[in-house]
């Protein structure tokens, strides 16, 4: 432990000083800066917790992700089937229709869209 210029040992950090932070003692500027850093960290923590608790937003994000993947898969299927004639296109349409119907049934049974 270092002594200050007057030979006194620095004050021990009070309970609540975050790990890795130095206790700033009686210096008002250092205390203000420490309070601001602590407030910023607390704000970030609250935002993270709020994001985890927002189930509807998470569900909307997941639904958008699934929708994008389905659209991409549909585009790839169209590209592959473009020159293959009408039979594969009809089969692809049936598969897409069945997939859409399955998704609608799933959402209805699991409370989606509320």
Convert the pLDDT of each residue in 89-106 to its tens digit.
778 788 889 888 888 888
Residue 40 confidence (pLDDT) above 90: yes
Two tokens at 104?
A: 């609608």
Is residue 9's pLDDT more than 90? no
Mutual angle of helices 86-109 and 55-81, in 10-degree steps? 170
Residue 43: is its pLDDT beyond 70? yes
Q: Which two tokens stand for residue 30?
A: 């250092």
Give the Cα separation of 97 and 103 in Å (integer).
Answer: 10
- pLDDT, residue 59, reads 86
pLDDT of residue 83: 66
Contact between 47 and 54 under an 8 Å Cβ cutoff? The reply is: no
pLDDT at 1 over 50: no
Please state, in angstroms and as integers, the Cα–Cα distance from residue 37 to each residue in 19, 63, 103, 112, following that order: 13, 36, 46, 41
Percent of the chain with pLDDT over 70: 68
């Amino acid at each position: 432990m270092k002594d200050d210029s007057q030979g006194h040992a620095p004050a021990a950090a009070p309970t609540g000083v975050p790990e890795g932070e130095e206790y700033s003692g009686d210096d008002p500027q250092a205390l203000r800066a420490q309070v601001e850093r602590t407030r910023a960290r607390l704000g970030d923590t609250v935002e993270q917790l709020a994001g985890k608790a927002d189930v509807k937003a998470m569900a909307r994000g997941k639904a958008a992700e699934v929708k994008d993947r389905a659209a991409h898969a549909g585009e790839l299927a169209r590209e592959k089937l473009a020159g293959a004639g009408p039979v594969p296109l009809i089969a692809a349409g049936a598969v897409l229709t069945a997939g859409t119907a399955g998704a609608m049934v799933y959402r209805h049974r699991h409370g989606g869209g509320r």
